[in-house]
């Protein structure tokens, strides 16, 4: 893993989230790096664009789509789904704060939106469109 993946991993651990890369999501069938772990789970698109900012701090800007999911849309009650959506949002706030403490600026582009029944995982959750800004000198 590179430095940003390591920081991302630590932030997920702090927020009690497992995570995985999504390599392909064609036809509602997710192809992930390894097995889908315990839920809630953060999924990142494998292809994330990185743009150098050419500033004094040698920072880069990374575009990231993160989908935090919980399984059981077809089996959970509406009350349980609402509880899990609240848990997902709380985990995101903890994750964002952990990223910021590690020197990564997290910008939310637009309003996070709930999604369900998008793939073959029988999942629901929130999709976050993010921009991360960080120095290449992070360790």
Q: Between these two residues, 21 and 67, which has the higher pLDDT value?
A: 67
Segment 40-69 shows an average pLDDT of 88
| Structural domains in the chain, sorted by start | 3-25+37-135 (3.30.2000)
Half-sphere exposure of 122 (CA within 13 A, CB side): 6
Q: What is the pLDDT of residue 98?
A: 98
| Tens of pLDDT, residues 91-103 | 999 999 999 999 9
Nearest-5° angle of CA 136, CA 100, CA 2?
35
Q: Best-predicted range by mean pLDDT among 31-35, 94-98, 123-127?
A: 94-98
Q: N- to C-terminal Cα distance for the chain?
A: 12
Segment 26-31 shows an average pLDDT of 55
Does the pLDDT at position 27 exceed 60?
no
Rounded to the nearest integer, the mean pLDDT of the chain is 84
Band of pLDDT at residue 130, cut at 50, 70 and 90: very high
The residue with tokens 């995101």 is 92
């Amino acid at each position: 893993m590179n430095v940003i993946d390591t920081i991302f991993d630590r932030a997920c651990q702090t927020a009690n989230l497992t995570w995985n890369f999504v390599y392909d999501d064609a036809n509602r069938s997710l192809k992930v790096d390894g097995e889908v772990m315990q839920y809630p789970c953060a999924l990142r698109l494998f292809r994330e664009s990185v743009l150098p900012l050419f500033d004094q701090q040698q920072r880069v800007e990374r575009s990231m789509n993160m989908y935090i999911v919980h399984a059981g849309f077809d089996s959970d009650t509406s009350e349980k789904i609402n509880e899990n959506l609240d848990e997902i949002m709380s985990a995101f706030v903890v994750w964002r704060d952990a990223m910021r403490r590690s020197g990564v600026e997290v910008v939310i582009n637009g309003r996070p939106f709930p999604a369900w029944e998008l793939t073959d995982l029988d999942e629901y959750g929130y999709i976050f469109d993010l921009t991360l800004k960080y120095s290449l000198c992070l360790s």
